[in-house]
């Protein structure tokens, strides 16, 4: 009897393992097939019209950006909550993820599984209807506890950042910068994976200087950056990627730090063509 139970248990285990392996293989093949597909011309037009960061890339980097978009879309779920989503919304989510990590080609947000798209800004209970008229809610957030692995974004606020014009704010980029920052375990404004330790002291000093300027009303950086170092990093990153020329002129030192953090100079392509 004992032997029979042992044999059945072993058989079930083996069957389970085979099912697991074959479904993992199928999934891998599906992703590979997706990556081999030609990037749709319509997608290219949408990126060209709406995503300033993409538009400033050279042709080789544009193809790399497109591959990253395909990988993101093939590996993450983008789901609407009481709203509808189209290709533009999906492309803007993927762009928001790729912009801050463009210089890290292997990086595809291992901790993110799902991006939920809300019809508007929302409150702490993820409700949108109580907010109309009197107060602005949350535009986006990185989920924790039961929403671990999930990013939440308000659709109109996500799209607003991608009207093809330079802005200072971009909620999509903001949330994905928090995720990069979180990689070392803490959302604290110090993304350790991207920096070495000798960089941290001067970076914190720079944050302090700029906070001083914001408090004195001498900076055009959104005062939301005053909340803490993590919000500071996310807010200045939005500006850095959305309007690099203006940001560099107004905040050359800060620009230099973000160039190191993201291993990227988003104005370099414009410089070449000037
Ligand atoms: Zn934030």
CA–centroid distance, residue 239 to ligand 1 (Å): 14
Which residues crowd ion ligand 1, with CB under 5 Å? 231, 234
Element (H, E) at 230: helix 229-242
Distance CA 122, CA 127 (A): 5
pTM of the model: 0.85
Return the pLDDT at 142. 85
Q: What is the CATH number of domain 41-273?
A: 3.40.390.10
CA–centroid distance, residue 164 to ligand 1 (Å): 23
Low-confidence ranges of the chain (pLDDT < 70): 1, 129-136, 193-195, 268-274
CA–centroid distance, residue 184 to ligand 1 (Å): 17
CA–centroid distance, residue 56 to ligand 1 (Å): 26
Reported as a single tens digit per residue, the pLDDT across 74-95 is 999 999 999 999 999 999 999 9
CA–centroid distance, residue 141 to ligand 1 (Å): 7
Length of the chain: 274
Distance CA 118, CA 126 (A): 9
Please state, as a whole number, how many other Cβ atoms lie within 10 Å of the Cβ of residue 55: 14
Chain centre to alpha carbon of residue 79: 16
Return the pLDDT at 272. 39
């Amino acid at each position: 009897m004992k032997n029979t139970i042992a044999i059945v248990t072993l058989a079930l285990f083996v069957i389970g393992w085979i099912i697991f392996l074959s479904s993992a293989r199928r999934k891998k093949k599906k992703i590979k097939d997706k990556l081999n597909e030609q990037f749709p011309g319509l997608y290219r037009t949408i990126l060209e019209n709406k995503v300033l960061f993409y538009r400033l890339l050279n042709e080789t980097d544009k193809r790399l950006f497109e591959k990253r978009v395909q990988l993101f879309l093939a590996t993450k779920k983008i789901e609407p909550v009481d709203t509808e989503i189209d290709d533009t919304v999906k492309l803007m989510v993927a762009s928001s993820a790729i912009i801050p990590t463009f210089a890290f080609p292997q990086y595809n947000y291992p901790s993110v599984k799902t991006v939920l798209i809300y019809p508007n800004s929302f409150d702490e209970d993820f409700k949108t209807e109580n907010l109309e008229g009197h107060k602005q809610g949350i535009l986006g957030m990185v989920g924790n506890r039961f929403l671990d692995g999930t990013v939440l974004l308000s659709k109109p606020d996500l799209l607003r950042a991608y009207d093809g014009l330079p802005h200072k704010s971009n909620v999509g980029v903001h949330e994905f910068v928090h995720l990069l920052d979180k990689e070392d375990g803490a959302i604290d404004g110090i993304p350790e994976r991207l920096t070495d330790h000798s960089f941290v002291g001067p970076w914190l000093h720079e944050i302090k200087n700029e906070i001083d300027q914001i408090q004195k009303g001498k900076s055009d950086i959104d005062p939301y950056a005053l909340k803490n170092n993590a919000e500071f990093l996310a807010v200045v990153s939005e500006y850095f990627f959305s309007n690099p020329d203006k940001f560099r002129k107004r905040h050359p030192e800060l620009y230099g730090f973000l160039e190191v953090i993201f291993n990227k100079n988003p104005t370099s392509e414009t410089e070449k063509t000037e």
